[in-house]
């Protein structure tokens, strides 16, 4: 499983807690995010490879699943460039039968590019503010699907980083909670 734009490593950490056999690979363009992800994995006793990459620039190989909560800001402006690069490049990094899952703000226009590249998209979970999109063949089974549709991150430890919306920008490890 590859987490692109991993931030503090929250998605991968929660996924690994639900599917302990999954091999984790995480990448982010931000050096502080890479370090925060390493610390988050370590704080939760989870192993994984974490490295710097501008979307897929340093990613080698193929994966059964690619997950992401792609950034959509460039300074104060909304920019879909990273997400579009992620979606378009995912095809080259997915194994046959693999899938892409994106957690995104509901207002972002990702369905158009998902349909263009994959031929379809499915919303597998949503709240008033967020949607989880799935593309590809579901080769991963229900245990990973349930991760995307439940408040699964409650109680996981998140390393503080620039990812303030996950960690409240504190200077110590905190318990991560999800508002339903």
pLDDT at 141: 42
Q: What residues does each domain of the chain span?
A: 2-175
Average pLDDT, 10 consecutive residues per value, the chain (180 residues): 95 90 95 96 95 96 95 69 93 95 91 93 91 73 42 46 32 34
- List C-alpha distances in Å: 120 to 66, 173, 177: 16, 40, 32
**pLDDT score, position 41:** 96
Predicted pLDDT at 84: 92
The architecture in CATH of the region 2-175 reads 3-Layer(aba) Sandwich (3.40)
CA dist 59 and 124 (Å) reads: 26
Residue 149 to residue 131: CA distance in whole angstroms: 10
**Strand 122-126 to 130-136 pairing:** antiparallel
């Amino acid at each position: 499983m590859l987490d692109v734009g991993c931030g503090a490593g929250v998605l991968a950490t929660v996924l690994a807690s639900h599917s302990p056999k999954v091999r984790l690979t995480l990448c982010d363009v931000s050096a502080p995010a890479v370090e925060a992800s390493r610390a988050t994995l370590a704080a939760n006793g989870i192993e994984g490879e974490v490295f710097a990459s501008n979307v897929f620039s340093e990613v080698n190989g193929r994966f059964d699943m690619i997950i992401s909560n792609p950034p959509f800001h460039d300074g104060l402006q909304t920019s879909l460039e990273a997400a579009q690069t992620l979606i378009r490049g995912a095809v080259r990094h997915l194994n046959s039968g693999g899938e892409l899952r994106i957690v995104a703000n509901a207002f972002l226009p990702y369905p158009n590019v998902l349909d263009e590249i994959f031929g379809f998209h499915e919303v597998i979970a949503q709240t008033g503010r967020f949607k989880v999109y799935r593309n590809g063949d579901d080769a991963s089974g229900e245990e990973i699907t349930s991760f995307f549709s439940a408040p699964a991150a409650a109680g996981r430890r998140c390393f503080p980083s620039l990812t303030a919306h996950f960690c409240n920008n504190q200077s110590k490890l905190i318990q991560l909670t999800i508002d339903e």
